[in-house]
Structure 1
Amino acid sequence: MELHQVPSVDGDAHPNGSTLLLSDDDVRRSCDMAAVVDAVEAALRDAPGPQLALPPRSYAAVEGTFLRVMPAIMSRAGVLGLKMLHGSFERGVRYLVVLCDLETGAVTGVLDAAYLTAARTGATSGVATRHLAREDAETVGVLGAGLEAETNLAAVAAVRPVTRVKVFSPRPARRADFAARMGAALGIDVVPVDTARAAVTGADVVVAATNTGAGGPVALHGEWIEPGQHVVSIGSTMPARREVDVATFARADAVVFDAPADTVAAESGDVLAWRERDDRAATAVPTLTQLLGAEVAGRRRADDVTVFKSIGAATQDLAAAVAVCERARELAIGTPVRGLADLKTF
C-alpha cells in the first residue's frame, strides 16, 4: 500500500475544504489493522532526506506536566503534520494528531490519537514481524493484557498465520478477559497462563507490551528465549522503565530498532541498561528502515533469535492517521468542519 495525498472529506484538497475530525471512537471504528501495517511500512521505507523531514521531538515540562511534540514532513505521502501528547502519568495523558496537505497546506484531519498511538505501535511491530519472524510462525506469547498488547497481537496476526496465543498478566482477571476478547475478535485460540515464562515457552513470536512502572522488574528474561523466536518489545519508552533484561538483547542473533540507536537509548531504560553493559553492541543496532532497504540482514536461519525494540516516531503516527482517515471517509465516519486554519496571504 502506498500513501497518497490526503484529501478533505468532501474530496477537495484546498484551503477552503473540510477538515475531518475523528474522536477516539471514530478512530477505533475506522482502524483496519492490515491497512495500517501496510501504510506504516510504506512510511518506514523512507529514510530522512529529500523525501522526509523528521526533526527531533520536542519536550517541555512544568511542575509535573509534560508536553511532547513530534513533527514530520512526508513528501512522498503528500502530507505534513505532527503528533502531540501532554499531561502526566499520574493524571493521564491526551494525544492528538494533525494532518495537513503538503501542497496546499490545508488541515485535512485532526484525530484523537489515544487509540491511534496503540494502533501504530502495533502496526510497526507488525512490519518488523513480517520481515523478522519465521514465515511459518503461528503461535504467539503475549506479556501484558492492555490496549497495546491487544493492538500488537492484532498486527502480528495480520502478517502471520496465527492459530494459538498464550497471554500472561499478573492480574488473573485481566488475562482472562484479554483471552476471551481477543479470541473472539481474531477468531483464534487465546488462552490465559499463570506465568510469564509459560507464555514465552513454545511461542514462535513473543510480544512484550507491559507497564511495569518506573524502576519496576523486567517482564521478559533472556534465559527464557528459545531458538527461532521473534521478540517484540514496546513497553520501555522512558529511561526509568524496564521491560526486558540485557540478556534478551545478548541472546539475539539480530536486533532492530525503529529509530536510531542514540534516540532509542535516550528514551528506553532497557537499551540504556544494555548500553551500560555493552556500549559497542547497543550502538551498532540498525533501524527498521535500514532492514526494509536491505542495507542490513535480519533473520538468516530458522533458529535465529530476532528482537525488535520500538519507541515510536512521528512518521508512524502520520502514516497510521492517513490510513485511518481514508477508511473513515469510505465509511462516512467523523465530523467534517470548514474554516479551520484558513489560508492567510501576505
Structure 2
Amino acid sequence: MSSPQKMTGGSCIFLDAAALRSLIPPSSLVPHLLISLPSHSTAVQSPSRQIFPVDPSASSSLLLMPSWSSSPSLPYIGVKIVTSFPHNSDLGLPGISASYALFSSTTGANLAGFDGTELTLLRTSAVSALAARFLAREDARVLVMVGAGALAPYLIRAHRFIRPGIERVIIWNRSAARARDLARRLEEEEEEGGNVVFEHAESLDEVIGFGDVVSCATSSKTPIVKGEWLKPGSHLDLVGSFSPAMRECDDEALVRAARVFVDFPAAMSEAGELVGAFERGAFSPEDVAGNLSDLAGGLKVGRRSPSEITVFKSVGTALIDLLAAQLAYESYITIT
C-alpha cells in the first residue's frame, strides 16, 4: 500500500476493520473526542441524517450522513452510507453495514476509505464511554449489557476503559444462547490476570437492578428496560434507537432520572424514547439537561450525587464520524 500524502491528493488509502481497531481504540478515541468535540461542535456542518425506507415491511433502511469543515485543524469532508436490516439477526448476519469516505475540504481530493461498520462500532461505543465519564459513578462495579449484537462487545470494552473498576459484566439478549456465547467469547478474550466475570442472564428484570451501568443496544420497538428496575445511582446508556418508532426504555426511566443528556440535539426528534415521552406529556424537552458537547466542554454538570439516576441517549451524528475518521487517518499517516 502506498504511503498517502496528507491534503495533497496523494494515493487514496483504505483502512479496514483491523486497522481501525488498532488506530482508534477507546484509549485513543475517547480522549480525542473529549478534546475535539467542544471546539468543533459548532464549526462542522452536519445536515440531518437522511433515512430512506428500503423495505418498510422488514424495517430495512438506507441512511446517508455527510459532514464537512473548513477549519484548519479539521480540513475534511466525510460521508457515511449505512444500511440497517434488523431482521438480519435471524439469519446470523450483521444488522448494520456501512462505508465511509474521507475527502480534503481544501482540494476535494479523496483521501481515504474506511470500513464504515467498524468506524460506527468504535465511535458509537466511544461516545457512550465519554458520556459515562461524566454520568456513571466512579466506583461502578457491575455493567449490565442489554443486547448481544455486534455493538455489545464494543460497548463493554469502552465502558470498562472509562470505568476500570467494573468487575462483573452481565449480558442479556432475547436469544439467551447469543448472550451466553458472547459472555463465553469475552471471557476467552480476557487478558491473563483479568478479574472481570462475564455471565449471561435469562431474565432481564432479575439482574438489571444490579447494574451500576446499564447499556442498551437493540433495535426494539417496545420498551425493554423499565424505570422501576433501575437502582439508585445507576447510569442508563441508550444506544439502539435512531427513529421515533424505536424505543428501548419506558417513560418511567426518564422520569426517575435526575439528569438526562443526549449526544446531539437531533436526538430530541429522532429517539423514540424521547419523542414518545414528549408526545405523552410524561417528559418535556426542557427536562433534557444538555448534550455531549456541554458535558465535554464543562458547560453542564453531569452526575451530581452518588444516588441519582442518570440517562444518556445517543442517535449518532456525522460529526463524530468525521472526528473518528480524522484520528484514524492522521494516526495512519503518522506511522507510515
Q: 2:119 aligns with which of 116, 119, 136?
A: 116
Conserved in 2, the CA contact under 8 Å of 1:47 and 1:289?
no
Q: Which residue of 2 aligns with 1:271?
A: 274
Greater relative contact order (Cα < 8 A, sep 6+): 1
How far off is 1:103 after superposition?
3.2
Distance in 1 of aligned mates of 2:32 and 2:2: 19
**Partner secondary structure for residue 201 of structure 1:** helix
Q: Which residue of 1 aligns with 2:65?
A: 70
How far off is 1:25 after superposition?
4.7
Q: Within 5 A, what are the aligned runs for 1:50-61?
A: 51-61=43-53
The residue type equivalent to 1:39 in the other structure is: H
How far off is 1:22 after superposition?
2.4
The answer to whether the aligner puts 1:84 opposite 2:81 as a matched pair is yes
Q: Which residue of 2 aligns with 1:39?
A: 32
Q: 1:194 aligns with which of 169, 185, 202?
A: 202
The answer to whether the aligner puts 1:291 opposite 2:295 as a matched pair is yes
* Alpha-carbon displacement from aligned partner over 1:118-161 (angstroms, at most 9, x marks no partner): 22111100100111111121221111111111111111111111
TM-aligned CA distance change 1:9 to 1:254, over 3 Å: farther
Q: Which residue of 2 aligns with 1:308?
A: 312
Q: Which residue of 2 aligns with 1:256?
A: 261
Q: For structure 1, which runs of at least 5 residues remain unmatched after alignment? A: 1-7, 333-346
Conserved in 1, the CA contact under 8 Å of 2:170 and 2:200?
yes
Q: Which residue of 2 aligns with 1:180?
A: 184
Conserved in 2, the CA contact under 8 Å of 1:149 and 1:210?
no
Conserved in 1, the CA contact under 8 Å of 2:76 and 2:103?
yes
Q: Within 5 A, what are the aligned runs for 1:222-241?
A: 222-241=227-246
Distance in 1 of aligned mates of 2:293 and 2:147: 27
How far off is 1:185 after superposition?
3.2
TM-aligned CA distance change 1:86 to 1:178, over 3 Å: closer
Number of aligned residues = 319
**Partner secondary structure for residue 210 of structure 1:** coil
Distance in 1 of aligned mates of 2:111 and 2:153: 29
How far off is 1:244 after superposition?
0.6
How far off is 1:237 after superposition?
1.4
**Partner secondary structure for residue 206 of structure 1:** strand
The residue type equivalent to 2:78 in the other structure is: G
How far off is 1:251 after superposition?
0.8
Conserved in 2, the CA contact under 8 Å of 1:32 and 1:324?
no
Q: Which residue of 1 aligns with 2:92?
A: none
TM-score, with normalisation over the residues of structure 1? 0.83
Identify the range of structure 1 (97-106 vs 162-171) with the bigger mean alpha-carbon deviation: 97-106
Distance in 1 of aligned mates of 2:107 and 2:84: 32
Identify the range of structure 1 (263-272 vs 39-48) with the bigger mean alpha-carbon deviation: 39-48
The answer to whether the aligner puts 1:22 opposite 2:15 as a matched pair is yes
- Identity among equivalent positions (%) equals 30
TM-score, with normalisation over the residues of structure 2? 0.85
The residue type equivalent to 1:219 in the other structure is: I
How far off is 1:258 after superposition?
0.5
Q: For structure 2, which runs of at least 5 residues remain unmatched after alignment? A: 89-94
Q: Which residue of 2 aligns with 1:246?
A: 251
Q: CA RMSD in A?
A: 2.6
Identify the range of structure 1 (55-64 vs 122-131) with the bigger mean alpha-carbon deviation: 55-64
Q: Which residue of 2 aligns with 1:145?
A: 148
Q: Which residue of 1 aligns with 2:101?
A: 98
How far off is 1:57 after superposition?
2.4
